Amino acid sequence: MGESDAPAICARISNEVARAIGARPDAVWVTWATYEHGHGVPGRLVHVHGRRTADQMEAVTAVLERILGDDVFVTVTPVWAIDPHA
């Protein structure tokens, strides 16, 4: 799994996450960045920003592990939409 595979992997993650959590496909965004840690070994770090239930976040993690492998490290930041007109 390398840089050249990134667009296809991102599209697959986006579509499968949307299906897993019952969201529109355009409501899931995926970006890709490559980092190296210790001895030039690429790491698999995924950060998820989301406003979802615990069950939905578990589904997101399951999709990521299925596509990227079980050695992926997933972190999560909850987000909330604020109505600027409220």
Tens digits of per-residue pLDDT, 22-63?
998 888 888 887 766 666 655 677 888 888 888 998 999 899
CA distances from 83 to 4, 43, 64, 71, 86 (A): 39, 37, 31, 38, 5
Domain spans of the chain? Answer: 3-33+42-78
Residues 6+ apart with CB under 8 A from 19: none
**Could you report the per-residue pLDDT of 58-74, keeping only the tens digit for each?**
999 899 989 988 777 78
Neighbours of 19 (CB within 10 A): 13
- The reported pTM is 0.75
Cβ-contact 27, 18 below 8 angstroms: yes
Could you say which of 3.30.429.10, 3.30.413.10, 3.40.50.2300, 3.40.190.10 is the CATH number of the domain covering 3-33+42-78?
3.30.429.10
Say how far apart CA 54 and CA 68 lie, in whole Å. Answer: 21
